[in-house]
Structures are given as structure tokens and as C-alpha cells.
Structure 1
Amino acid sequence: MEFVVVIPARFASTRLPGKPLADICGKPMVQHVYEKACLSGASQVVIATDHQKVFDAVSLFTSDVLMTREDHHSGTERLAEVVDLLDLDSNTIVVNVQGDEPLLAPENVSQVAALLNDSTAPMATLSVAIEERDDVFNPNAVKVVSDIDKNALYFSRANIPFDRSAMMDDKNRLDLAPFQRHVGIYAYRAGFIKQYTQLSVSPLELLESLEQLRVLYHGYKIKIEQAQITPHSGVDTPEDLAKVIAHIKSTNA
């Protein structure tokens, strides 16, 4: 199985400006992500950025960096541009890894690629078991339900599946076993990435603010299974960054 990893690295960030270049133990954040992705078995790992400072910094440790347009409305649109720039075959598996996950588990990257490789679906992703009751009701923790064949049925910020008995009686009796939290790592077939950008925006994705719902709305399958390794949280704030630095120093990760 061959697959390509693409790491989008946008310079702009409301809560942490210049996030891809944030220093983590002597390396920019995006370099940590790149090095972890290289351990996944990918045939190529490419960083796609929209800013010259990021391009120059990345060029110091790899030549696999592309400058992309600034006017993309979503990460998938940026991914589609990368597919064109690399002239990838339509059947090539492309794994989209976020550039703000310096504690990325390489095993999860290879897992989602293999999940797609073993199916006819155009797209695959991962989930993890929810272990904290508060996450069931946290709209920032996206829940997902799937069918017996590992096809995602729906993604939502709401508490799905809805446990009618517990919710009507006593929320403290809520069984967490059925709940899965979506992990934002995706594998696509390169041809579908371009096809996705031609699909009309769905009312569901607007309601939930979840881009992947466009795929389900238009009748396509998304394969999903539980991640082999529970991912660490990404970096969105200076506080997140401090936690990652402390973790790396303590574990020499």
C-alpha cells in the first residue's frame, strides 16, 4: 500500500498567530508533525502552506513543501490544489494530517490509509471512545455513529446516539460505551478530493459546522474505525503549546 501525507500549514491563527512556526524544543511545530508523519510509512510527506515565512522555515528541513493560494475556504480546497500540483493519480490515497498536532501518532496515519485501501469508499477517518461524561455534552467534541460495516452514519456536536432511558431519568446513569468522538484525520482518494470541491454545500454541514457532512449528504461513504492509539490534543492556544512542550520534555517524545 502506498499513500501520500499532506500537512496543511496556514500561518494565520486567531488564538496563536504564526502557529506552524511556534518553537517546540528548538524546532518549529510543523517540523515535529512532519517528522512524525514520515514514520507512518508514507511514500511522500508534503507540507502545503500559504505563507512565505513558513515556506522558508520548512525548506530548511525538507524540499517537500508547496506554496498554495491564500483564498481557500477550507482545508479540502487546499488539498485539492496540492493534488493538482503533485499531479497525483485519481486512485492515490492522500492522508490529510493537521499541522498543529506535534504529538501525532504515526500508527494512526498508516491505520486510516489502510482502512481506505481495503474499501471502495472514497474517504476514511478515525474515532476514539469517549471516557468523560462531559465530552458527551461538549459541542466541541464531535460525536459519530457508524453501521456494522464501519460506515459513518452521522457526525454531530450533539450527544448521539441519544440514550432515551438515561436522559429521561438520570444522566448520571449514562452508559459511555456507545459514544465515539471523531478524530480529525482523513484519508481520501485523490480523485474524490477534487470531486468534493464540486459538491454543493449541504444544509447539514452549515447547521453543525462540520465539513464532512457534505460527503454523507451527497450519498458517499466514509469508512471509520477506532484509532489504534488515542491521539493527543492539537495546539490551538498558548496554553496548549505549553502543555505540548512540557510533555515532550518529560517524555523525550
Structure 2
Amino acid sequence: MSRSIIIIPARMASSRLPNKPLADIQGKPMIVRVMEQAQKANLGPVIVACCGSEIAAVVRQAGGIAIETDPDLPSGSDRIVEALRHYDPEGVYETVINLQGDLPTVDPHLIQASLAPLADPTIDIATLCCKIRDTNEVGNPNVVKIATSAWVEHGGIVISRGVYFSRLAIPANAQTHYHHIGIYTYRRAALERFVSLPPSYLETTEKLEQLRALEAGMRIGVVLVDGMPQSVDTPEDLARVCIAQPA
């Protein structure tokens, strides 16, 4: 198996939850909680690609690795690539996991599961989804939906290929809709290609970065998992996570 690295992009700017990476969750900053969950996956080094010295200081104080990136980079993907080139200029790590910095309770097994589609050499990028059980989420534009090809089981893991992502309910007339989970696992060459591409028409229309890859002909493998990790985007989300998270 190729060598893996987990990189967590983090920046302070957030309109709904100011200073989000440093938000306190039972005595630890959120970015440290995410880093610790990533370390439990035991897949390789865990790096925080951060915009700003405040985040870097907190990560290093907790014993983690932080790499400060250009604050003018346009996306988390660009931040990840800059940190990767800095940490691993010789290209030792062939698989790069982009773990969002607002998932403080993410199950390490979900991170591990994201590697499964890359067993197929035709897959460039892998990600996760789960069934939508709350019907209110189907029409919610803040919930990203995914349309896939037929699901196939491989060794107890259910895998498909991502055909389209949308904020609308897709596919039409489906009995079951799927909620996309924003964890991405890239072949390194695919990640480098992805960030070299200009923003695409569908990407800018839907405001979904992964559509750039599909428009460029890249193949996205999808793993079906049981549950959606709680993301923290608002003060209300933070309060719920603080209640659920042990000290």
C-alpha cells in the first residue's frame, strides 16, 4: 500500500463562527481535537496546514506539526498542496487525505475507510457519503447531495463512483438520497493536477469544488458509511459538540 499523509487545512476566517479552529471544546481547541482524531487513524503523519501563527502555535503546543501557508491561497486544497510540498518535497507520500478542520468528533474509522476506493487504479480521488435519514435535509441547499453509480460491496465496504454533486436533491425521483461527507483522499498526482486546473463552470455555479475534478474527467470513488460526522459551523453546532464530547 502507498504511504499516506493526512493534512488538515485551517484558517481563522469564518463569518458564522469567528476564530473557529481555536474554539474551545471541553478544554481543547477544535483544531487539536481534529488532529487527535486523525492521529488515531494511524495512517501516517498528520499535518495542520494553517493560515496564521495563532493556529500554528496551538498545534505545536499540543505536540503536532503545523505548517504556515500563504494567507492569499484561494482554497483549502491549495493550502494542502503548499504544506505537502514543504513537508515532503521528495514525494515520499503518495496518498494525501484532506481532512476538514471542523470535524472534531470524526471517527478515525471513517478516515481509514476513505482509502478503500483507491484499490481501483482507475480512481483518482476518494470520498465518503451516508444515507440522508432526515427528509428536511433533502431540500436543504446547505446539505451537499451526491449521485452515484450502482453500489458494489468489496470485503464488507460498500463502494460506488461519484457521478455528480449538488445542493439540489439528486438524482430526481430517488428513493434514497446521500449526504456527501467532505473527506477527500487523493492520489498525489491527482491532487497536483486538481489544483493546477482553473475553477470550472459547474464548480462556480454550484459552489462545490469537487465538480472541477469531474469536469476534468477525474474519477471519484465513494464509500458508503453509517453516519455523518458532526461539523462545527455555528455557535449552536459548537454547543452540541461540547455536550457530546468527553473532557
Question: What does residue 110 of structure 1 align with?
Answer: 112
Q: Deviations over 1:42-78 (max 9, x none)?
A: 2111111111111111111124111111011111111
Equivalent residue for 2:165, pick from 152, 155, 164: 155
Kindly indicate whether the alpha-carbon contact (under 8 Å) linking 2:125 and 2:185 is maintained by their aligned counterparts in 1.
Answer: yes
Change (3 A) 1:204 1:31: same
Deviation at 1:103, TM superposition (A): 0.7
Instruction: Give me the whole-angstrom Cα distance separating, in 2, the residues matched to 1:218 and 1:180.
Output: 23
Deviation at 1:154, TM superposition (A): 0.6
Query: Per the alignment, in what secondary structure is the counterpart of residue 209 of structure 2?
Result: coil
**Residue type of the alignment partner of 1:42:** L
Question: What does residue 230 of structure 1 align with?
Answer: 227
Deviation at 1:225, TM superposition (A): 1.8
Deviation at 1:199, TM superposition (A): 1.4
Question: What does residue 40 of structure 1 align with?
Answer: 41
Kindly indicate whether the alpha-carbon contact (under 8 Å) linking 1:90 and 1:191 is maintained by their aligned counterparts in 2.
Answer: no
Q: Which structure shows the bigger proportion of residues in strand conformation?
A: 2
Pick the structure with greater CA Rg. 1
Instruction: Give me the whole-angstrom Cα distance separating, in 2, the residues matched to 1:198 and 1:90.
Output: 20
Q: Deviations over 1:148-182 (max 9, x none)?
A: 3621111111111111xxxxxxxxxxx643x1111
Deviation at 1:118, TM superposition (A): 4.2
Question: What does residue 168 of structure 1 align with?
Answer: none
Query: Per the alignment, in what secondary structure is the counterpart of residue 102 of structure 2?
Result: coil
**Residue type of the alignment partner of 1:183:** I
Question: What does residue 170 of structure 1 align with?
Answer: none
Instruction: Give me the whole-angstrom Cα distance separating, in 2, the residues matched to 1:88 and 1:223.
Output: 27
| Structure 2: runs of 5+ lacking an equivalent | 153-159
Question: What does residue 184 of structure 1 align with?
Answer: 182
Q: Deviations over 1:68-111 (max 9, x none)?
A: 11011111111111221122628611111111111111001011
Query: Per the alignment, in what secondary structure is the counterpart of residue 143 of structure 2?
Result: coil
TM-score with structure 1 length normalisation?
Answer: 0.88
Question: What does residue 124 of structure 1 align with?
Answer: 126
Instruction: Give me the whole-angstrom Cα distance separating, in 2, the residues matched to 1:186 and 1:13.
Output: 21
When the two chains are superposed, the root-mean-square deviation of aligned CA atoms in Å is 1.7
Kindly indicate whether the alpha-carbon contact (under 8 Å) linking 1:46 and 1:64 is maintained by their aligned counterparts in 2.
Answer: yes
**Residue type of the alignment partner of 2:123:** A
**Residue type of the alignment partner of 1:154:** Y
**Residue type of the alignment partner of 1:246:** I
Instruction: Give me the whole-angstrom Cα distance separating, in 2, the residues matched to 1:99 and 1:216.
Output: 24
**Residue type of the alignment partner of 1:64:** I
TM-score with structure 2 length normalisation?
Answer: 0.90
Kindly indicate whether the alpha-carbon contact (under 8 Å) linking 1:157 and 1:208 is maintained by their aligned counterparts in 2.
Answer: yes
Using the aligned pairs only, state the percent identity: 37
Does residue 11 of the first structure (1) align with residue 12 of the second (2)?
yes
Instruction: Give me the whole-angstrom Cα distance separating, in 2, the residues matched to 1:34 and 1:68.
Output: 17
Instruction: Give me the whole-angstrom Cα distance separating, in 1, the residues matched to 2:82 and 2:116.
Output: 24
**Residue type of the alignment partner of 2:110:** N
Instruction: Give me the whole-angstrom Cα distance separating, in 2, the residues matched to 1:104 and 1:241.
Output: 14
Question: What does residue 216 of structure 2 align with?
Answer: 218
Deviation at 1:236, TM superposition (A): 0.8
Equivalent residue for 1:242, pick from 219, 239, 243: 239
Change (3 A) 1:71 1:117: farther
| Structure 1: runs of 5+ lacking an equivalent | 164-174
Change (3 A) 1:117 1:61: farther
